[in-house]
Amino acid sequence: MKYQILISAFCAVLFLTGCGKVDPKLYNQDGPVADGDILVESSMSDARHLNPPLIDEVGGADIAGLVFEGLLRYNENLELEPCLAEKWTVSKDGKTITYYLRHGVKFHDGVEFTANDVLFTYKVYSDPGTNTPEGANYQDIKDVAIIDPYTVVVRYKKPFAPALSETFGYILPKHLLEGKDINKTDFDRHPVGTGPFKFVEWKTAQKIVLTANPDYWGSKPHLKQFVMKIIPDQATQFLELLNGGIDCIGAWMHGTLTPEQYSKQINTPKFRDYYNSFKSDELAYIYIGWNLKNPLFKDKKVRQALTMALDRNTIIENVVYGEGTVATGPFALHSWANNPKVKAWPFDVNKAKRYLADAGWKTGKDGMLHKTINHKDTPFKFVLMTNQGNVVRERVATIVQQQLKQVGIDVDVQIMEWTTFLSQYLDPRKFDAVIAGWTLTPDPDCYQIWHSSQTGEHQFNFVSYKNTQVDSLLVAGRRTLDQKKRQRIYWQIHSILNDEQPYTFLYVPHQLTAIHKRFKGYHMNANGILTHPEAWYVPLNQQKYKP
């Protein structure tokens, strides 16, 4: 293995001219399916956890998606299909789901997967002592019964609409974790699942390496290895791509070319000879989250004013080069849950100033806004944080700083390393405002982000939003099985959140992907994302990393 890595590093330096001066026209050939080669992809940040219950960010989730599997999974049409469960049935009242498990599936250590692992997984996620943001998805389960080693019955207290998509997404090995402290076990650094790739090593802040699982129950991976290389800067990522140090950006890991790279730097022979690129609307949105425990942001009129003071169309045009759409709420643009009647707040500086004045903010001698809070003169000044290396978010932060200054608000921008940003500021709620993004699932359930019960340290409602009507609607959305009725519920949620602006919903970005042409066999799902990496391959005569 060490010998192979040394050879690979040497070839990477020479890749554009080719190890052996490969004619780039070769990569336009499909070629026969073959085993071998390595996919090296970049991530801007290291994972925080690889133990599924603890995962709270996309880096860890992307790796876990290769190592672990759920009972069901999404296919290319974003429809649920069998995975570790080969079939399932749902009772007429929606409260009982029976899963029929595959026979002969083995964890990476050779131990067979059975119904005992499903029951154990439920116990871990439903345990209030587990530091998981996913616990709310299991709280409505009444019990899990094992009928036989390959049949599991899950009974719910009440109907739970996202049951099939939001529970049992990662199955844990009982034989390795039973009796251990799930929050502290070394399993977090050495995960074992049933997926198409097996964990090999994790070098903190450098890389995570996976290898093909030769005993995989499904179609065995053609690629020999998957490597997630940590490169915390988008410009450096692109240079690494052009120089052959990585093979793709945004192909499997959650990442993207910058809009500037996509619009100005990929239309060159140096890029087009070797790489394919794709564009699609992301199941995601970018936002500014206001810490609602901070007195500055408690008043709804202030949050509305902050949104109106920002020219989001200018941000889209000048920062993301048109590769995005103004967001109005928490749902994907093409989702049935997205309310078409909800309109974006306008860019209106004068109206923003009136709203701020109505909320008691007055211009002081220094030209900035002031207000007496708790008998103390308080300037409207706050710190806006975002993660290091994300060029787009850094530029957005600068524009927000400039535009809010026009209405008398002083913004201090701070750029933080990702894991520090999460562990020292977001988790303990020690922030004023953040620029961040959510990646969404096809089901619109957003209970974990907006329900007032989800404000704990390891939970996702870190802005501490609380609205009793939204709480009730979020619960109703989970209880309602009829999609038309659910749609009306989520349309109300969309309307309320747009009015209250606990986030300033900035924009829905485009996913901008690049992948080396030697990779074949990938497909796009209905949202334009490449799927099922176990099917990807490189023809033998195009392989870069050879034994």
Is the separation of the CB atoms in 308 and 346 below 8 Å?
yes
Which amino acid is present at 396?
V
> What does the pLDDT average to over 479-503?
97
Which amino acid is present at 408?
G
Count Cα neighbours of 96 within 13 Å in the Cβ-side half-sphere. 7
22 band by pLDDT with thresholds 50, 70 and 90: confident
Residue 36 neighbours by CB distance under 10 Å = 18
Which of 295, 298, 465, 312 has its CA nearest to residue 381?
A: 295
Q: What is the CA radius of gyration of the chain?
A: 24
SS3 for 114?
A: coil
Show Cβ contacts of residue 3 under 8 Å, excluding neighbours closer than 6 positions.
none
User: How do residues 319-376 score in pLDDT, each as one tens digit?
Assistant: 999 999 999 999 998 899 999 999 999 999 999 999 999 999 999 999 999 999 888 9
**16 pLDDT above the threshold of 50:** no
Instruction: Report the range of poorest mean pLDDT among 163-167, 378-382, 523-527, 533-537.
Output: 523-527
Q: What is the pLDDT of residue 14?
A: 35
User: How do residues 100-158 score in pLDDT, each as one tens digit?
Assistant: 999 999 999 999 999 999 999 999 999 999 999 999 999 999 999 999 999 999 999 99
For the chain, give the number of residues.
Answer: 547
β-partners of residue 341 are none
Q: Per-residue DSSP letters for 211-271?
A: EE-TT-SSSPPSSSEEEEEE---HHHHHHHHHTTS-SEESSSSS----HHIIIIISSSHHH
Q: What is the pLDDT of residue 158?
A: 95
Q: What is the pLDDT of residue 162?
A: 96
Show Cβ contacts of residue 266 under 8 Å, excluding neighbours closer than 6 positions.
257, 272, 275, 277, 514
User: How do residues 434-467 score in pLDDT, each as one tens digit?
Assistant: 999 998 989 999 999 999 999 998 899 999 999 9
13 band by pLDDT with thresholds 50, 70 and 90: very low
Spell out the CATH class of 69-177. Answer: alpha beta
> What does the pLDDT average to over 293-308?
97
SS3 for 300?
A: helix
Q: What is the pLDDT of residue 280?
A: 82
526 band by pLDDT with thresholds 50, 70 and 90: low
Number of H helices, E strands in the chain: 16, 23
* Cα separation, 278 vs 283, whole angstroms: 15
The CATH H-level (homologous superfamily) assignment of domain 2-64+195-274+517-542 is Periplasmic binding protein-like II (3.40.190.10)
Quickly tell me which residue has 């780039």 as its tokens: 24
Angle among Cα 152, 156, 161 to the nearest 5 degrees reads: 105
Q: What is the pLDDT of residue 11?
A: 39
User: How do residues 228-266 score in pLDDT, each as one tens digit?
Assistant: 999 999 999 999 999 999 999 988 888 889 999 998 899
Residue 439 neighbours by CB distance under 10 Å = 13
Q: What is the pLDDT of residue 3?
A: 33
Which of 95, 90, 70, 91 has its CA nearest to residue 81?
A: 70
Residue 302 neighbours by CB distance under 10 Å = 25
* Alpha-helix residue ranges (DSSP H) falling in 309-420: 312-318, 349-358, 391-405, 418-420
| Single pTM value for the model | 0.89
* Cα separation, 473 vs 452, whole angstroms: 12
Residue 348 neighbours by CB distance under 10 Å = 15
Q: What is the pLDDT of residue 528?
A: 62
pLDDT over 70 percentage in the chain: 95
**Angle between helices 483-500 and 468-479 in degrees, nearest 10:** 160
> What does the pLDDT average to over 153-173?
97
SS3 for 150?
A: coil
Sheet strands (E) in 300-380: 324-326, 362-363, 369-373, 376-379
* Cα separation, 230 vs 232, whole angstroms: 6
Q: Residue 451, class by beta-carbon neighbours within 10 Å (0-12 exposed, 13-18 middle, 19+ buried)?
A: buried
Q: What share of the chain is helix, strand, coil (3-state, %, to 5)?
A: 30, 25, 45
Q: Quick one: fold of 284-509?
A: Dipeptide-binding Protein; domain 3 (3.10.105)
Residue ranges per structural domain of the chain = 2-64+195-274+517-542, 69-177, 284-509
